[in-house]
Structure 1
Amino acid sequence: LRASLCERTFAILQRHVERIALVTEEEIIAAMRQVWERMKLVIEPSAAVAVAPALGRQLGAEGKKVGIILSGGNVDLTTLPFK
């Protein structure tokens, strides 16, 4: 996802965020697919951005409880990026 941050948002992130993970488009699609296969939920790519680093073990949260908000309002079922 490409988005810009205003100065206020960036300042909040600097105070409260410990780590930022980068994921590829392929990892985003794989996360969407895995959520569908395991949970039977269709999520939008922006929700999969949060899932992908957890699945890829980039967060260092193995063995911990992790909460991720899943949304699906911006999904066109006719153009899902996976089969």
Structure 2
Amino acid sequence: MKLIAIEEHFLTKEVKDEWQKNAGKDDLTHKLHFGEIENRLEDIEGSRLQLMDETGIDVQVLSLTSPSLHNLGSESINQQHNS
């Protein structure tokens, strides 16, 4: 039997940079991911694979961490365009 971890999260440098570039003064979500949390979110190979081996996890289902692409201003997936 395989052990599958669901709801695992990751973060790319590109998304983090866009969060910081588009953050308004009242939007603090880009500051949620720093320190050890940031390191773990950005490492989808090295220590993540080691921890999976140590805990017996065979597969992880990865999702982009919150707030994902929802707060990127005019580039946001929440932005509606009128045609």
TM-score range, shorter chain: under 0.3
TM-score w.r.t. the length of structure 1 is: 0.27
Larger strand proportion, structure 1 or 2?
2
Could you say which structure has the greater relative contact order, defined with CA pairs below 8 angstroms and 6 or more residues apart? Answer: 2
TM-score w.r.t. the length of structure 2 is: 0.27
